[in-house]
Structure 1
Amino acid sequence: CWSSVGNRHVGKQELSIGENCDRIATVQHEFLHALGFWHEQSRSDRDDYVTIVWDRILSGREHNFNMYSDSVSDSLNVPYDYTSVMHYSKTAFQNGTEPTIVTRISDFENVIGQRMDFSDYDLLKLNRLYNCSSSLSFLDSCDFELENICGMIQGAGDNADWQRVSQAPGGPENDHSNMGQCADSGFFMHFDTSSANVGDTARLETRLLYPKRGFQCLEFYLYNSGSENNQVKIYTREYTAGLPDGVLTLQRGIQEIPIGSWQLYYVTLQVTEKFRVVFEGLRGSESSAGGLSIDDINLSETRCPHHIWRIQNFTQLLDSQNRNVYSPPYYSPKGYAYQVYLDLSSTTNVGIYFYLISGANDDQLQWPCPWQQATMTLLDQNPDIRKRMSNQRSITTDPTMTNGNESYFWDKPSKLGYVALFPNGTQYYRTRGYGTSAFITYERLKSREFIKGDDVYILLTV
């Protein structure tokens, strides 16, 4: 894994992200080098924050720890960043078992060297270096902490309103952003269905948004403390010169909303004109003791994940004897059935593996499964999508890959798989898994907001 630092002005410039260098953050690391970034521990002020232990470094690798003057490496007035994707880990190029980098604040000893994603400061420096003042993909983020509710408005054509509250009768007792951890903060929007009539609706509309791409992904958390018959409908109101009042289009209806917990939802949009997103709550037919609540809305011009694997009561799972967790079955857009396995058996690392399984379309599909990329993302549930450091791994189904004998690794599950059982007792075939035993350390898993409300989310795209 290597790259020159900055533009070498030689035409096409090489960087290496080959075998064992294909983690997303490793790719980010090498591209930041090409864009002009030195390692974080090469800053001129690094000795204020870390100590380099030279006699623990492999002979001939000392140059990797060079420090550069302000005239060579500009910090761009950004503080030293222990969380940078450009920082070496404490074990970098060690000649034994002792750390080569010691942080002056011991709490950051196991933080340096993260290879999950850009840090906030990485992005700040990149934007300053290239004078970027806006994003091509970000549209909006709202956690309702401010009274202006991010410029949202109460919609027309309804007979009730959404209210900004910090708790609601019947639940939730706190918002999703802070989970009750911060005094005098923690707000969300709530539609009280207990005082509404059957069929009553409440609409909440975002500010006007201006798309650049033509595809968007809406993400939000939803809490139902009322009836399972309550519904939420997501609309877009799109404006054109000929239709100044906008055209309302239903994008998704959400029914049978679980009672009593915050749950993550994604909605795929395809909007090309200026628009608003409209959240409509609907009072169901059964008695309702509470209502509907929404929080932590994010809208970006990116692709939504195909599937969301929610793992509840995660800390209990870590403490249990059975620490092997298989996802429900899913189907890819091309019809391949698959499953993901989260391996919690190690005492240091979490593993993750992708499996093809027998499915309804197998007789119509091409085998061995050719060149499907599966991306498995452990979601950092920070309320603002711009501040997340999610952890992801991708694998590709190479149809020529073998099992070490004459069989193909990604062949039809019923041909080479073994029999497995779903929780309901249904039998199916599952191939060998492919992935990594070092997806994330338990220490990093408990950092950021990977575990929130005792929920973990794995986002899946194939």
Structure 2
Amino acid sequence: MMPNQRSAILGNQYRWDIPVPYKLSVDLSVNYKGVILRAFEQFRLKSCIDFKPRAVEDISYISVESRDGCWSYVGRTSARGQTLSIENGCGVKAIVEHEFFHALGFGHEQSRYDRDDYVTINFENIITGREHSFNKYSENLTTTQGTPYDYYSVMHYGKNAFSNGNGSTIITKRPEFQDVIGQRLDLSEYDVIELNKLYKRNSSISFLDHCSFDDESLCQMSVCSAGDYGWQRMKSVSGINVTDHTYLGKEQNGVSFFMHFSTEGRNEGDTAIIESKTMTPKRDCKVQCLQFYYYHSGHESDQLNIWIREYQKQTAEELSDLWIRSQASLFLNNYWKLHHVPLNVIKTFQVVFEARKGAGNSRGGFSLDDINISETECPHTWQIRDFEKILNNSVSATLMFSLLYYSSDGYRYQAGLTLWRRFSSRISLYLAAFIFPSIATSRPVPAAEKPPRSMMLPPPCLAVGTALDR
């Protein structure tokens, strides 16, 4: 098999023994070796897969070399060493993860046999000679393992992959995911699920909890509210075109749910709360990342607050402390958006989602889906949707702000970006970071104290700024 003639392979003979032996070539730079080892750590933390340096007795192994481009064979294809190439331009953790996914037995997401239900391939826009990269795999040779099509997969091509300059090569059937495909931040939730299924394992040293709300038990989460309203388990929300994030509106065997709190017709300050089960950190390094998808269809004054209830001892029977971890007047959006919150707790804890009705008139509310909690660091990335479109339309200065982030010391900070296109070939950017003075809710608050109705943000202090003009 030539390196660029990749396909998904079924059969146990193409699976690796775990841990997977590897050898790093001497022609790899020190920086690239560091990125590869970081990628191994992510596999180790998030999935059942582990890697080890090749020993003398290891006949089959992956030889990581600097060849012509970034590529890998699919699955274990040799009784000896097989090459995986990481060359210039590949020194990004998620790109390395992408190539090792090939080596572990996976093809590209947009090559699934059911891809035509989710994307359209514009073959006329593909560079001559690269058409085979967009081939669709046969159902007789591959399996989806019962997982939904994943626009967020690290194995999905971007919209302009191998474009000849005449337009995008991939068009998503749902426009809100056109700028999502091709992300190279990290493994998606379903990347990990598929990997564990393929290798028939389900253990991870960092996994704490996951909930997609497809089971009526709500993953042992509890729902409470002050009245006859609150978080509701829904298949869809009429009038605002919200359907389940996991299956992107395509119902699978009648199971497709998410949680929704309607702020329409509610009074200012009305709240709804959903609490996770209790969890205890397992790793010596006390870092955790909360990841979830949200759909904000209410009023911009509505709030979604993330609280942490940490118990004074390692058991949930002891008195607990409650404090704010993320205060998010999340941006209104007509699509599911990924959000991360670093937790950094030490003892047994719960995560509390508090939705709060704001002052404005609402025609929707908050929706939550696919909650994950793992003992890993959150990505340090500010994702800006439709950045290219915003930039091209910025004839005058456009000011943008990120969500609020929280440091492990309790400081809140926010990034601000000013950008405009002054000429067709001239772009100006100014990026600044703001640190907010501490507020009462940034320290532990006794559980008996009710969260305040309103948490006003004091004026920020400019911490650092930088400009780019090209």
- TM-score normalised per structure 1: 0.49
TM norm structure 2: 0.48
